[in-house]
Amino acid sequence: MSLITEITAATDRYNLHSHTQFCDGHAPMETMARAASDCGMLHYGFSPHSPICVESGANMSHENVNAYLDEVNRLKSLPVELPQLYAAMEIDFISVDFGPHIDMFQRMPLDYRIGSVHFVPNQDGISVDCDGSADRFLRYLKDAFGGDLRYVVEKYFEQVLTMLERGGFDMLGHFDKIAQNASVADPEIENQPWYEALIDDVASHAKTAGVVVEINTKYINDKGRFFPHDRWWQKLKDAEMPIAVNSDAHWPEKVDEGRRQAFEKLRQTGLHHNAADVNGQSH
């Protein structure tokens, strides 16, 4: 068992994907850890957006990595009751030359690694940040991708698949995040057979890679969807994928955001079972 599957098998009271002042989060690490403690969490993982090889205001700088690791250690030594804390990182996959698999990330003394795709190369090979607001995405779609939505979506999933092939990480972050913005451009996109085939590819690659698949709950209340969308959870069940439910919190008041709804829906899907269920102690 990996660290992550040990935690998820033992309890629901965890969050393993979160951001702080070291990247685009909105509070210091200590504030986030105390908020997690107030929610009754037993395990809390910090996962700043990794240093990156393209321009990005959301990612941490390479110079700050040691300060970040030092801060995790300082918090662990505080004489207050905090959850078990972990030093992780949400590592961007940009290309075969830059992703969780490269030496720089493999050498960092991290407790676990999350692999995520936010950037999609356009037809000229320029990495474009397709996360962020729908308005910005629609502008980039027109200006950077020539309006070719299917190209963007297929390229996004190609990035996810290549990242899974290269490996070097433990948990697959929000694997259909592109659907958030792509469905604004075309609300029918997830109903297309070619789109569903891409989801099937991710599920089979993730199974082969042996990673934990994240259910990201960050936007369930704001935008009404999980990542991956719950319409695909049966595929995860069929593939017997290990899953973890994370809030991807950027604010202290959001450390537990959407996680209960996810656990409820997971139980309906028959996907969720751990020791907490058996003991009836879940939340």
For 51-85, b/e burial (b = at least 16 CB within 10 A) is bbbeebebbbeeeebeebbebbeebeeeeeeebeb
- Minimum CB distance to Zn ion, residue 248 (Å): 4
Other residues' Cβ atoms within 10 Å of the Cβ of residue 222: 10
- Minimum CB distance to Zn ion, residue 27 (Å): 14
CA separation for the pair 14, 58 (Å, rounded): 24
Site string for Zn ion, 227-266 (x = CB under 5 A): ---------------------x------------------
- The crossing angle, in degrees rounded to 10, of helices 178-185 and 149-166 is 170
- Minimum CB distance to Zn ion, residue 193 (Å): 27
232, 1 contact by CB (below 8 A): no
Question: Measured from the CB atom, is 148 or 158 closer to Zn ion?
Answer: 158
Q: Is 116 in the site for Zn ion (CB under 5 A)?
A: yes
CA separation for the pair 171, 113 (Å, rounded): 7
Question: Measured from the CB atom, is 132 or 167 closer to Zn ion?
Answer: 132
Give me 261's structure tokens. 């709804």
Question: Measured from the CB atom, is 56 or 116 closer to Zn ion?
Answer: 116
99, 53 contact by CB (below 8 A): no
Site string for Zn ion, 88-107 (x = CB under 5 A): --x-----------------
Question: Measured from the CB atom, is 7 or 276 closer to Zn ion?
Answer: 7
Using CB under 5 A, count the residues that bind Zn ion.
3
Q: Residues 39 to 98: which contact Zn ion by CB under 5 A?
A: 90
- Minimum CB distance to Zn ion, residue 278 (Å): 31
Question: Measured from the CB atom, is 16 or 209 closer to Zn ion?
Answer: 16
Among the residues of the chain, which ranges form H helices?
3-10, 29-38, 65-76, 103-107, 134-143, 149-166, 178-185, 193-209, 233-238, 259-269, 275-279
Question: Measured from the CB atom, is 132 or 237 closer to Zn ion?
Answer: 132
Q: What are phi and psi of 174, to 5 degrees?
A: 20, 70
- Minimum CB distance to Zn ion, residue 80 (Å): 26
- Minimum CB distance to Zn ion, residue 266 (Å): 20
- Minimum CB distance to Zn ion, residue 19 (Å): 6
> Tokens 């694997």 sit at which residue?
175
Residues 6+ apart with CB under 8 A from 196: 190
Site string for Zn ion, 129-168 (x = CB under 5 A): ----------------------------------------
Question: Measured from the CB atom, is 248 or 257 closer to Zn ion?
Answer: 248
* Residues engaged in binding Zn ion (CB under 5 A): 90, 116, 248
